[in-house]
Structure 1
Amino acid sequence: MPATSVLVLGCGDVGSAVAHRLFRAGARVVLCDLPEPSHSRRGMAYTDALFNGTAVLEDVAARHVADLDAIRALWSAGGAIPVVTLPEDDLAVALRVDAVVDAIMRRHAMPPDRRALAATVVGLGPGFTPGINCHVAVETQWGDAMGSVLRDRATAALSGGPKPLAGIGHERFVSAGVSGRWCTSAAIGQDVAADEIVGTIAGTPVRAPLGGRLRGLPRDGVMVIAGQKLVEVDPRAAPRVFGLGARPRAAALGVCRALGLEAEG
């Protein structure tokens, strides 16, 4: 039987795309993350709903709500995806969701086993093995298998690098050199020049790696961790910094197939 209520963990670009597609498929979906998350691709995600109260991604709205009653009320009213910062384990149990989708997308840490939270737990990103820490997984690494539903094998380990844009891969990113509070007056979609200061961490300037349009930039005032991707510049003549990305779309389709909301192909 298809899942009708789904808790999605992580409101970055992948988790947001999953919530978006589930909502379009008619599921009651709730999106959960930490307060003040430091996701950078905010034009391609619902992250800003946790700061502004609402966010819209390709004509589907998300709204920050505070408690279980507000989630249920929004499910009944329709029109938007509830976004919360409530404890995820308590949330899954209280709402009796049919499925949990872990879209936190850890790069190096091993994901925990959350199979006790729902009849179906779907794992996205490196480190998931069906029968070990999820019931089913979806491949998110670029390649022919991207978006595939995995029931008897693990997701691919982190390898390679970002998909090049205009032939530029790692060079379009800046990672945080230290941990601390991120401060910026720049905005997603803003054009920047190479070496232009786009923010600071604990007073240390952070500069654009090349000229182009800002695609990744955490919200002003959040705490960031040394090593995390902080700034991303799209160098293309026709940059794309808003809307659903290709990899998140593929992952979202895989999740809907894994949950029986769309036919597996």
Structure 2
Amino acid sequence: MSVSAIVLAAGLSRRMNQNKLLMKLDGIEIYKYILNTIKECKDFFNEIIVVGKDSEVLYYAESLGFKAKSNNNSHLGQSTSIIISLKNLKPADGYMFFVSDQPYIKKETIKKLYDAFNENKDKIIIPSYNGIKGNPPIFPHRFKEELLRLSGDVGGKDVIKKHLKEIVKVNIHTEKEHIDIDTMDDYKKQINRGDFMKGEVIVVKSGGDIASGIIQKLHRTGFRVLVLEIEKPTSIRRTVCFSEAVYGGKIEIEGITSLLANSIQEIYDAWSKNCIPVVVDPEGIYINKLNPIAVVDAIIAKKNTGMKKDAAPVTIAVGPGFEAGKDVHIVIESNRGHNLGRLIFSGFAEPNTMKPGNVDGFTFDRVLYSPDDGNFMANYKIGDLVKTGDVIGYVNDKSVKAKLDGVIRGLIREGIYVAEGQKIGDIDPRNDKEYCYTISDKARAIGGAVLEAVLISINERNSGC
């Protein structure tokens, strides 16, 4: 049996006075809900087509592998979209019509309707939500010509009215799936459900060790976090860096998994699994694609490498090199001491001291630096115990030696090209291997500060300040 899915997304939103499909619920545009759900059901369908008038909707549909057709005559009514869809599909046993403003319909419901059609191939299948008829209906192929003859602002309901004896109702025992968004009151009811924050997208530039403390806090509190990385991350504390997903496809840190993603769909797939997607995107292209509520620069480059204040409703940067109020909205103090984690709304963080943090009285001696330009080759791995003078590895023929006894807490990935003087590892004199595999106190403090900054911005937005 072949069934084609048709998504009608060319409405004029007259009662909303704006394109409702681009409005967000829980941080996601309304139209993406139904398209993402249909993507989960792709095995049910012979073909999937989206008919719309907004380029963003059509682009997203194409990114999911759907057919996308523009309707430039949508002002003439819904029938125009029905006709465009049917004329651009191969013949099928049935045609399942979805509306794009019904965000909560579930895969299980679509499967139930599909199975009902499989048992009643000559009947019109209609979902009944606690006694109320709704969408998506399935029309058998024998009604195709009648659907093609529709005109004006009428849809499948006109065909259904003429064939009431040809209907099979499928009971769906939920009211939520029947909800569609037609008016501003409808929209407000949904955003005031009490979980408005949940699902908002936040982009974090970098998946390094400090960034991973930020990512953990945001993810745990319900935000959808997307991590942007470079092609070959040079993280030192790799066992606690979500950036490592770039190399291995995934990494788990303190029970949270990050997955490498290569498309918008793979990003949403990761979120649906309660995982954190990591994309190789040094230019920040996905920022424009996802319209996040916040962008966090956690590169810790000690300078602004391209962050702009208008990148999102709230922009946050960690450490020196940024001016709060000019480069970003909020700067987070990253220097250890009394002000660590302080939110700065105007001005700069403390300048870079150029001195590593003090661990049990050791600063420079605990850090490993590259002795030359070249590819690093390692003799040890993270978690190994070493003694003073042990050769940790080489860059070309020059050795990298331990200057103290301790455990290797961080070590750059073997084979990475490094520059002379570049930090490539650190040794922890406390000799506790657990520190190698858990997020640091500094990263947690900064992560909490970033979360505070985000919540402040959300509260201000919701209060109209």
| Shared fold, TM over 0.5 | yes
Deviations 1:73-117 (A, max 9, x none): 222x1321111112442110011111110000013x444342232
Q: 2:449 matched to 1:258? A: no
**CA 1:117/1:68 → structure 2, altered by over 3 Å: closer, same or farther?**
same
Q: 1:237 offset after TM fit, Å? A: 4.2
Give the Cα separation in 2 of the matches to 1:117 and 1:185: 43
Q: 1:179 offset after TM fit, Å? A: 2.4
Q: Is the 8 A contact 1:25 1:261 kept in 2?
A: no
Instruction: Tell me the residue number matched to 2:260.
Output: 64
Give the Cα separation in 1 of the matches to 2:411 and 2:282: 26
Q: Is the 8 A contact 1:111 1:128 kept in 2?
A: no
Match of 2:323, SS?
A: coil
Instruction: Tell me the residue number matched to 1:154.
Output: 348
Q: Is the 8 A contact 1:40 1:231 kept in 2?
A: yes
Instruction: Tell me the residue number matched to 1:180.
Output: 374
Q: 1:254 offset after TM fit, Å? A: 0.5
Q: Which amino acid aligns with 2:297?
A: D
Q: 2:419 matched to 1:213? A: no
**CA 1:263/1:29 → structure 2, altered by over 3 Å: closer, same or farther?**
closer
Could you tell me which of 94, 104, 113 is aligned with 2:289?
Answer: 94
Q: Is the 8 A contact 2:228 2:284 kept in 1?
A: no
List alignment gaps of at least 5 residues for structure 2: 1-195, 460-465
Q: Trace 1:7-22 onto structure 2 (pairs within 5 A).
A: 7-22=203-218
Q: Is the 8 A contact 1:256 1:262 kept in 2?
A: no
Q: Trace 1:114-129 onto structure 2 (pairs within 5 A).
A: 114-129=308-323
Give the Cα separation in 2 of the matches to 1:200 and 1:157: 32
Q: Is the 8 A contact 2:381 2:408 kept in 1?
A: yes
Residue identity (%): 26
Q: Which stretch has the larger CA shift, 95-104 or 115-124?
A: 115-124
Q: How many residues align?
A: 262
Q: 1:158 offset after TM fit, Å? A: 0.5
Q: Which amino acid aligns with 2:425?
A: V
TM-score, with length taken from structure 1: 0.91
TM-score, with length taken from structure 2: 0.53
Give the Cα separation in 2 of the matches to 1:19 and 1:118: 17
Could you tell me which of 26, 36, 59 is aligned with 2:222?
Answer: 26
Q: 1:52 offset after TM fit, Å? A: 1.4
Q: 2:273 matched to 1:44? A: no
Q: 1:263 offset after TM fit, Å? A: 11
Q: Is the 8 A contact 1:128 1:155 kept in 2?
A: yes
Q: Is the 8 A contact 1:112 1:133 kept in 2?
A: no
Q: Which amino acid aligns with 1:86?
A: D
Q: Which amino acid aligns with 1:31?
A: V
Give the Cα separation in 2 of the matches to 1:227 and 1:116: 35
Larger radius of gyration: 2
Give the Cα separation in 1 of the matches to 2:304 and 2:259: 30
Instruction: Provide runs of 4+ in structure 1 moved above 4 Å.
Output: 261-264
Q: 1:197 offset after TM fit, Å? A: 1.5
Q: Trace 1:238-257 onto structure 2 (pairs within 5 A).
A: 238-239=432-433, 240-257=435-452
Give the Cα separation in 2 of the matches to 1:164 and 1:10: 24
Q: Which stretch has the larger CA shift, 48-57 or 155-164?
A: 155-164
List alignment gaps of at least 5 residues for structure 1: none
Deviations 1:163-189 (A, max 9, x none): 322211111112122222112242111
Deviations 1:3-41 (A, max 9, x none): 921110111111111111110010000111112211111
Q: Is the 8 A contact 1:140 1:147 kept in 2?
A: yes
The one of the two structures with greater contact order (alpha-carbon pairs below 8 A, sep at least 6) is 1
Could you tell me which of 406, 417, 421 is aligned with 1:227?
Answer: 421
